[in-house]
Chain A
Amino acid sequence: MRVLLVEDDRMIGEAVRTALTRDEHITDWLQDGAAAAAALAASAFDLVLLDLGLPRRDGLAVLKELRGRGDTTPVIIITARDDVASRVTGLDAGADDYLVKPFDLDELAARMRAAMRRVSGRGDAVIEHGGIRLNTVTREVFRGSEQVALSAREYAVLEALLLRPGAVLSRAQLEERLYGWDEAVDSNAVEVYVHSLRRKLGQDAIRTQRGAGYYIPR
C-alpha cells in the first residue's frame, strides 16, 4: 500500500522508509509539516505515519486539517512525546493509533495492518472474497486451497481492490498505490498487473468498468 511518512529526523526517516519499502509498501517521505499538509491535500494515501514535532507546521495541525475536510485516511502518530496528555490529544485529534519512539519495526507493521483492518471494517488479518483469500500479515494469496505467487505490485493492486469489493478504482488511483513520487510510472503498468492477476486468479476475478477503472465484483 502507499504510505506517507512524515518525519523530520533524517536517520529515523531513512530507517523507517527502508523498512516499509522492504515490506513492499510504496513510501513517500516528507520532512516538514507544511509539505505533508500539501501532499495530503493533493494525493491519496492508504496510511499516514505522522511525527508531531515537525518544522514549519506541527503534526497535530496537519492531522486536524486532514480530519477537518473529512478525510478518513488512517493516521498513526509516531512521536517522542510519551505523556498521557499528548496521547489523548493525538488520538482525539483523529489519529488511529499512537506509537512512541523508540519503537519496534514489527510493532509498527502490526499497528499499520491493524489500522488498515479497522478502515476496511474487518476484525482479522485475512480478507476472503469470491474464493480468493488474502493474508495481509504473511502477504499470501490463495485461490481456493491453492496458494498463488504474486509480485509485490500485483499484491498491492489485488489488496486495493479486495479491500472494498464493488468499488471501482481508476488507473490513476491504482498507480498512486503502486508508485512513490520518485518512481517512474509505466503508462500501462496497471493494465499489465491486472492482466497477470486475471491470469493467476481467473478472468472474472477482476472486472473492468469501461472508462472508469477496475473492480472486484461484490
Chain B
Amino acid sequence: MMTSLRARLLAGLLALVALISIAVGLITYERVLAESSVLFDYQLEQMALSLRDQASVAPRIVLPAHAGGTDFVIQIWDRFGTLVYASRPGLSFITHAVLGYANVALAGQRWRVYSLATVEGVIQVAQPWGVRESLAGGAALRVVVPLLLLAPLMAVAAAWIVGHAMGPLRRITAEVQRRDAGSLSPIDPSELPAEISPLIAELNRLLGRLGEAFEAQRAFVADAAHELRSPLTALSLQLQLAERARDAPEREAAHARLHAAVERATHLVAQLLTLARNEPGTPTAMSAVQLDEVVRAAIGDVQPLAQQRGIGVEFAGTPVRVHGDADALRILVRNLLDNAVRYSPEGSVVRCSTGDGALLEVTDLGPGIPPAEYERAFARFYRRVGGTESGSGLGLAIVKAIAERHGARVELGAAAPHGLSVRVHFLRLP
C-alpha cells in the first residue's frame, strides 16, 4: 500500500496522462480514418469517372508495372465480362463487383473498391484499406508521442509542485523533531494550508491538555516531595532523640514518638497513593451502591480513632442508592469522618447522615473552616490553622477527587453552634 502522499499523487498523475494519451490517440485514429475515407472514396470515384471517358484508350495506357507509390489498382472490364485492363495483374475484383463502393478482402488484404458501370463495361478502382489505416495510425502517433514525451517533464513538474505543497508539513515535522520530550508548546500554525491546519489546531489543543496534565503531575510530585519532608524530618529527629536518650524513660518516650512519626509518614504515603488513584480520568468500575451501607462501613473504619479521642460517631439516614465505586466511596466517607473526628473537641459527637436527594452530610463540633477558605480547603496539603493533629492535608482533596469522579458536588458549610458541615450531593439512582 502506498502511504506517501507524493507517490500517490505522482502515480495518479502519470496514470491520468497515460489514459489521456491513449484516449487522444484512439480518437485521432478514428477521426483521421473517417476523414481520409471520405477523401479517398471521393478520389476513387473521380478516378473511375475520369477513366469512363477514356475507357477506349485505357488498354493502351502503359502503366509501369506496379510501381511503388501507387496503391490504386484499376481494372476495366468490357460488356462481355472480359478483363480489358488491369493495372496490377493477378487481382480480380469482378467476382465481388457491386456497383458503387464495396469492401473486399483479396490476396490477404482488405480493399476499398469503387465500381462504375459504363456503356462499354465496368471500371473498377481499388485501394487497400491499409493506406487509410496507416495514415490514421501515423496521425494518432504524431499526437500521442509528444504527449508521452512530455510525461517525464510533467512528472518532474508534478513532483516539484507536490513537494512545494508539502513544505509546511516538512516544516512541522522538523519542528516536532527538534523538540525534546518536555516541550509541549503549540506548533506554529501560521502559513499552513487549509487542509492541515485543522489537524494542527487539534494537535495543539491536545498538546495544551497534555501540558496541563504534565504540569499538574509535576506540581503533584513537587508538593508530595515537599510534604514528605515534614514527616521524614520528624522521623529523623525522633530517631536522633531516641539515640541520644540518657535513660530508659527518655528512650521509651522517644520510641513512642518515633512510632507516631512512622505512622504519620505511612499515613501520608497512603493518602498520596489514594489521591493519585483517584486522579481525574482514572478508569472505574461503577455499579449501584447502597450509600448508607458504605457509610456504616466507613464509621467502622474510624471507630478506633474516635474511641481513642472519646468521640461518638452517630449515623442517621435513609437508604440511598447511588451509582459509583463502592471502595472509592468508602474512602470518601472515611476521609470526611476522619477529618471530623480529628478536629472535634474530645468527648464530642460527629453526626453523619444520608437522605433526600442522594445527600451525604458529615457534621462536627470542631473549630470549622472560615468561609473565605472554603475554596482553598480542597487544595492539596491544605491544613487548618490551629489544628492539633498533624494530618496529611489531603483528606478534602481526596474527597473532592472521588466526588468529581462520581459527578457529585461537595459543599462546605458552618454547623450550629460551631463546627464544619460537609455535604456531598450525589447523582440519585432510581
Contact = CB atoms under 8 A, between A and B. Distances in A.
B229 A55 contact: no
A101 B390 contact: no
Given A15-B241, A105-B237, A10 B229 contact: no
A102 B386 CA distance: 23
A56 B373 CA distance: 12
Using C-beta atoms within 8 Å of the partner chain, give the interface range for chain A: 20 to 34
A12 interface: yes
Interface in A124-175: none
A19 B238 CA distance: 10
7 contacts: A9-B234, A11-B390, A12-B233, A18-B241, A81-B226, A101-B232, A102-B237
A15 B383 contact: no
The 8 A-B pairs of least Cβ separation, nearest first, read A15-B237, A11-B234, A102-B233, A80-B229, A101-B233, A102-B236, A55-B385, A105-B240
A182 interface: no
Interface of B: 226, 229-238, 240-241, 244, 257, 260-261, 264, 383, 385-386, 388-390
Looking at chain A's contact residues, is the secondary structure mostly helix, strand, loop, or mixed? loop
Contacts of A105: 237, 240-241, 244
Contacts of B257: 11, 14-15
Contacts of A104: 236, 240
A91 interface: no
Given A32-B385, A56-B385, A12 B240 contact: no
B218 to A, nearest CB: 14
Contact of A101 (B229, B383, B389): B229
Interface in A1-37: 8-12, 14-16, 18-19, 22, 31-32
Nearest to B228: A80
A11 B264 CA distance: 10
Given A14-B257, A103-B233, A9 B390 contact: yes
A103 B232 CA distance: 10
Contacts of A11: 230-231, 234, 237-238, 257, 260-261, 264, 390
A32 B237 CA distance: 21
Contacts of A80: 226, 229-230, 233
A24 to B, nearest CB: 13
A210 B238 CA distance: 47
A101 B233 CA distance: 6
B233 to A, nearest CB: 4
B388 A10 contact: yes
Interface string A48-89: 000000011000000000000000000000001100000000
Contacts of A103: 233, 236
Given A12-B233, A102-B233, 9 more contacts: A11-B257, A11-B260, A11-B261, A11-B390, A16-B237, A101-B230, A101-B233, A104-B240, A105-B237
A8 B290 CA distance: 40
B385 A12 contact: no
Looking at chain B's contact residues, is the secondary structure mostly helix, strand, loop, or mixed? helix
Contacts of A18: 241
A103 B240 CA distance: 10
Contacts of B238: 11, 15
Contacts of B237: 11-12, 15-16, 19, 102, 105
Contacts of A12: 230, 233-234, 237
Interface centre among B234, B235, B244 (most CB of A within 10 A): B234
B236 to A, nearest CB: 4
A112 to B, nearest CB: 15
Contacts of B389: 10
B240 A19 contact: yes
Nearest to B388: A10
Nearest to B232: A102
Nearest to A14: B257
B385 A15 contact: no
B221 to A, nearest CB: 15
B251 to A, nearest CB: 12
Contacts of B231: 11
A105 B234 CA distance: 11
Contacts of B233: 9, 12, 80, 101-103
Contacts of B241: 15, 18-19, 105
Nearest to B227: A80
Nearest to A81: B226
Nearest to A22: B244
A209 to B, nearest CB: 39
Contacts of B230: 9, 11-12, 80, 101
B195 to A, nearest CB: 47
Interface in A97-116: 101-105
A53 to B, nearest CB: 9
Contacts of A101: 229-230, 232-233
Interface centre among B260, B388, B390 (most CB of A within 10 A): B390
B211 to A, nearest CB: 22
Nearest to A56: B385
Contacts of A8: 383
A180 B328 CA distance: 48
Given A9-B390, A105-B240, A15 B226 contact: no
Contacts of B244: 19, 22, 105
A81 B260 CA distance: 24
B392 to A, nearest CB: 12
A152 B266 CA distance: 39
